[in-house]
Amino acid sequence: MSQLAHQTDLRSSRPQALAGLELEDVSLTLGDGEDRIKVLDRVSLTVESGEFAAVVGPSGSGKSSLLAIAGALSLPDTGTVRVGGEDITALKPSARARHRLENVGFVFQSGNLIPSLTAGDQLRMVNRLAKGPRSFSPDPLLEAVGMTHRAKHRPGQLSGGERQRVGIARAMVTRPAVMLLDEPTAALDSARSHEVVALLAERSRELGIATVMVTHDISVLEHCDSLYEMEDGRLNKR
């Protein structure tokens, strides 16, 4: 086992991380009365272990709701969401929270880092929350994203691209089965955007993570294995 794989495995007694994401006939309606809107309309999506999928579409088309459902942040009105064959919509709230912590990695638009923590401590905090090994070191993951030299720097001392790299490393602490990316290049220039997405795609394939990226940035789609378009709550493969 490589040093990176060893560091990202939470517990020696824990089975291999679950693999693959599947949404089947998922629907979601938000609002009340006349303001009710079907934001997801019988959406089905399968992303295999190691696959890097992109979802494009106009604002308000349902992309963020798709990520929320896939990441067990919200429950659909109908349909099922499976990770590694397990129906996570059937889990109790406490089990869903544990699932999110251990099996889902989130990467947000600006890294979403805690301002008071150094880059290394961002990763250590996730490991502690997930009850990972006391011997955990953030160095292999930071090295994988080219950020070892900035391990002791806080978010305010990092550039936008550097914050995103730390966010990527943090998302991989538990070696998740699924990684969900919400406009990860929104705050980056073109060169940094390609660099970050290429890195995400590489790590997804190397670690066998089923990854879904929501983006408006069509210039980075060359790094993706599959492409879907969301419009009016419906998802179609392109």
pTM recorded for the entire structure: 0.84
C-alpha–C-alpha distance, residues 218 and 100, integer Å: 28
C-alpha–C-alpha distance, residues 66 and 81, integer Å: 11
Token pair 């309309």 is found at 41
Q: What is the pLDDT of residue 60?
A: 87
Q: What is the pLDDT of residue 5?
A: 45
Q: How many CB atoms lie within 10 A of CB 134?
A: 7
Q: Which amino acid is at 18?
A: L
Q: What is the pLDDT of residue 51?
A: 96
Q: What is the pLDDT of residue 1?
A: 42
Mean pLDDT, 10 residues at a time, over the chain (238 residues)?
43 45 96 87 96 94 94 95 93 94 87 92 95 93 91 94 90 92 86 88 92 94 96 94
What's the gap between Cα 159 and its chain centre? 21
Coil vs helix vs strand at 85: coil
The DSSP secondary structure of 157-175, one letter per residue, reads GS-HHHHHHHHHHHHTTT-
C-alpha–C-alpha distance, residues 49 and 107, integer Å: 18
**Structural domains in the chain, sorted by start:** 3-237 (3.40.50.300)
pLDDT in tens, 210-226: 999 999 999 999 999 99
